[in-house]
Chains A and B, each alone.
Chain A
């Protein structure tokens, strides 16, 4: 047991590497703060566009969303970071991570908003249009506020998943929390940084996990 603690919760090691972890945490938080709003906006845009029932566009939107659902986000990130330079586009790690994560998660958000919009009766749009609101105004003032209520649980769930997924930026050597912990672990020959990183992730995200669970229960109950 002593050994175990000395290994996995080594205070000395922690004292040495905690600035590194903090930097990593900062990058993770920043990455999340940039990506979540971007992905939500993308998803909203796609879903509202879809709700206009434009005959030629909708199959394309579905195809995009499905392709992304079938496609590991890490593969997308590798394509963006290592593939785009072949056509002369060199994105820094942070930008590549934002792009891949937002594209991927935007598809999921789009799907969620779309389902929410479909749960709002068509008469709502018609009433709004009959008073002179434009299609976009009707979508944003009348339909979306109702749609969001239907899909709060999956929205929160997807946000949680997105924040968790920022950890894949490790793979392109962006010094986010997981990457920093790995570097620290390799320089100190001690797993404490990994334990600490896991703990930080947990403390950061656990409230969101509880919120998602609560919303999901409410959704199941309301059926």
Chain B
């Protein structure tokens, strides 16, 4: 299925928590190498959308296909599928009891069943890729927020995912640490990684994204190339939101 025109296909995705309907029918097609930026007010369902894509949340209804494989189908090896989808969390979620290298190597050993040497060799390469080769033996507590997030990116990249999901990767960081993380994400884009990025970093959204989705109230209100969305949004809601974040 390597030639599938779309790497990620979402059709009519609904998600409710009890009575609260958080996603109200999302559909999305993402081509290989495409970078999708998701923006929208807090509580609009952005995180839930990302979490449904790798089924950290169980969709209530709808179909999700990654590289042609339907994730919600019965009998899908979810752990196998997840290895193809990297996820980077707002709160990093590094394992505090393991070193940076240990964080990156764990899934390589447990999911890909690599030997310790293989896993650590690849882990080191990944840390190098995010500019942290010298921090391999540091524990998360000894790293800055920006460094922790780069380790988390390395942890996801190590599995050689086809798709990377970022959930506000920089919003827990001090401003001076944001740049380093964005640089890594730009490198990834330049290498051709397919990414879905929830972010409030408008600079990255503008020059890093191929397409911008504006979500509000569990729906995609509008989508289009960054130039259109940022300069000439079609909807009042989008305009108001942009006004708020751009002039905050």
Chain A interface (Cβ < 8 Å from any Cβ of B): 121, 123-124, 126-134, 137, 141-142, 145-146, 149
Q: Flag whether B37 is at the interface (Cβ < 8 A).
A: no
Shortest Cβ gap from A196 to chain B (Å): 44
Known contacts A123-B89, A123-B91; is-contact A130 B82 (Cβ 8 Å): yes
Whether A131 contacts B106 by the Cβ 8 Å rule is yes
- Cα-based distance from A155 to B40 in the complex (angstroms): 46
Cβ of B87 < 8 Å from any Cβ of A? yes
Enumerate chain B interface residues (CB-CB to A < 8 A): 51, 54, 56, 79-83, 85-87, 89, 91, 93-97, 106-107, 110-111, 152, 155-156, 159
Given contacts A123-B93, A146-B97, 13 further A-B contacts (CB under 8 A): A121-B91, A121-B93, A127-B87, A127-B155, A128-B95, A128-B106, A130-B86, A131-B83, A131-B106, A131-B155, A132-B81, A146-B96, A149-B97
B81 partner residues in chain A, CB cutoff 8 A: 132
Q: Determine the main DSSP class of A at the interface with B.
A: helix
Residues of chain B with a CB closer than 8 A to A131's CB? 82-83, 86-87, 106-107, 111, 155-156, 159
- With A and B bound together, what is the CA distance between A39 and B239 in angstroms? 62
- Chain B residues lying within 8 Å of A129, measured Cβ to Cβ, are 56, 79, 82
Question: Contact check: which of A127, A145, A146 meets B89 at CB < 8 Å?
Answer: A127
Chain B min CB distance to A79 (Å): 41
Inter-subunit contact A141/B96 (CB<8 Å): no
The 4 closest A-B pairs by CB, nearest first: A132-B83, A127-B93, A131-B107, A123-B93
Which of B54, B81, B87, B97 lies at the interface centre, i.e. has the most chain A CB atoms within 10 A of its CB? B97
CB <8 Å contact, B89 and A142: no
A126-B56, A127-B152 known; A133 vs B93 contact (CB < 8 Å): no
**A145: chain B residues within 8 A (beta carbon):** 97
Would A132 and B79 count as touching, CB distance under 8 A? yes
* Cβ-neighbour of B107 out of A124, A132, A149 (below 8 A): A132
Out of A127, A133, A141, A149, name the residue touching B79 (CB < 8 Å): A133
Contacts of A127 in B (CB 8 A): 87, 89, 93-95, 152, 155
Assembly CA distance A132 to B110 (angstroms): 9
